[in-house]
Structure 1
Amino acid sequence: MSIFADVFGYLLGLIYGLVKDYGVAIIIFTLLTKLILMPFTIKQLRSSKEMAAIQPKMQEIQEKYKDNKEVQSQKMLELYKEHNYNPLSGCLPLLIQFPIIIGLFTALREPATYVFANNPELLETATHQTFLWMKNLSQPDLMSNIFSSGPAWLMKMPGLMPILSAVLTYFQMSSMNAAQGAAATQNNSLKMMQTIFPLMILFWGTSLSAGLILYWTVGSIFQIGQQYYMKRPVKGENV
């Protein structure tokens, strides 16, 4: 994964050299990486949309042949062939994106190693710049960034960026599940993840750097917009 971390860390360092603001550099960097990953993400979203379209027929086959798994599998394959649908098409983009995403996170988590390795003198200047309400993007965004004083438990609570990121992640997953149709909304595991994952983001916000949470937040906004665009009916397509 270090290869991806080296590449993306170098890119983030170049952007920072141009804009001289680490927070702005992370936002630009996030948008660029999302554009790079867009072909894979679109393929994944289209696969979800195709599955939602044939889902009623899939459920009909499952119910009709519930006592004959062999015939059920054969009918499913015929349905996939009829609609030119590959059930594995949604998995491949995820597998391709996984090492890239890990590399991105590694670069943002360790800027001294991957972003400012050739310019260590810029590390402290960049990460200690105030961005919005956050005083240090290399440290977690806690409520201490908002309140100058208060109870110790309050000062250690997740700040506004982790809260915003958790809310956006919830809506992103909700939109993704809706795109996959009724089966996804009725799947208890998916419904549970829709709640648990945002809570995990909130919890991670107390330990992960604000710069990393900023990346996730901007990425979630981009993803929600992309999902909304993909849900629009194509010209000539039945609504």
Structure 2
Amino acid sequence: MSIFAKVFGYLLGMIFQFVQDYGISIILFTLITKLILMPFTIKQIKSSKEMSALQPKIKEIQDKYKGNQEKQNQLLMELYKEHNYNPLSGCLPLLIQFPIIIGLFTALRQPETYVFVNNPELLARATQDFFLWVPNLSQPDLLKNVIPNGPEWLVTLPGLLPITSAVLTYFQMKSMNAAQTTSNAAQNTQLKVMQTIFPVMILLWGKTMSAGLILYWTIGNIFQIGQQYFMNRQTKGEA
């Protein structure tokens, strides 16, 4: 994965040299990478919607031929062919995005290795300048950044950036799950559980992950919520 970290780290370093603000650089970097990944994300969203639309027919076949796996597979393949749907089409975008996303996270988690290579002065200037209320984007954003004189149990909790990111993650997953709702009650329950668990995980990670990485995730969620909104509007307009 290091090749992706080097590529995206180099891109982030170039953006910083242009704007001279690490927080703004991460925001621009996030928007650029989201635009790069947009075709794969759109493909994945469309595939999820197609699968949701086919779910009633799939369940009908599975229930009718519950004891005949061969017949069930045959009819499912015919159904997919009739609707020009590839069951693997939703997996391919994820497989393509996975190494890219890991590379992005690695570059943001280790800016000294991948962004500001052999340049400790530039690294110090980039990560130790205030961005909004965060004094150092290479360190976690905790509540002590906005409540410096609070009790120890309070100031060590995740700060405003992780809280914002967790809330946005919840709404982003809620929007995505609404498009993926199926007739399978167990699957719908799993989606709702993940919708709750994942934002909590993001919040907890905010205690240890760098604020720069959480900023990337926050801006990415805003982008995806907007993307999902416009795709939903387009779908309604075509209906």
Q: TM-score, normalised by structure 2?
A: 0.95
Cα distance in 2, alignment partners of residues 173 and 184 from structure 1? 18
Answer whether contact 1:40 1:93 (CA < 8 A) is retained.
yes
TM-superposed deviation, 1:195: 1.2
Distance 1:198 1:83, change over 3 A: same
1:190 matched to 2:191? The reply is yes
Cα deviation code 1:31-69 (max 9, x no counterpart): 000001111111111101111222222222222222332
TM-superposed deviation, 1:226: 1.0
Following superposition of structure 1 onto structure 2, how do residues 158-169 of structure 1 map, counting pairs within 5 Å? 158-169=158-169
TM-superposed deviation, 1:194: 1.4
2:3 corresponds in structure 1 to: 3
1:51 corresponds in structure 2 to: 51
Following superposition of structure 1 onto structure 2, how do residues 17-166 of structure 1 map, counting pairs within 5 Å? 17-166=17-166
Q: TM-score, normalised by structure 1?
A: 0.95
RMSD: 1.6
Cα distance in 1, alignment partners of residues 116 and 125 from structure 2? 11
Cα distance in 2, alignment partners of residues 40 and 169 from structure 1? 19
Secondary structure at 2:26 match in 1 = helix
Answer whether contact 2:112 2:118 (CA < 8 A) is retained.
no
Aligned residues: 238
Answer whether contact 2:56 2:183 (CA < 8 A) is retained.
no
Task: Note the residue ranges of structure 1 that are not aligned, 5 or more in a row.
Answer: none
2:16 corresponds in structure 1 to: 16
Answer whether contact 2:172 2:221 (CA < 8 A) is retained.
yes
TM-superposed deviation, 1:70: 2.2
Answer whether contact 1:34 1:219 (CA < 8 A) is retained.
yes
Cα deviation code 1:179-238 (max 9, x no counterpart): 112347752332221111111101100000000000000001111111122222448843
Task: Note the residue ranges of structure 2 that are not aligned, 5 or more in a row.
Answer: none
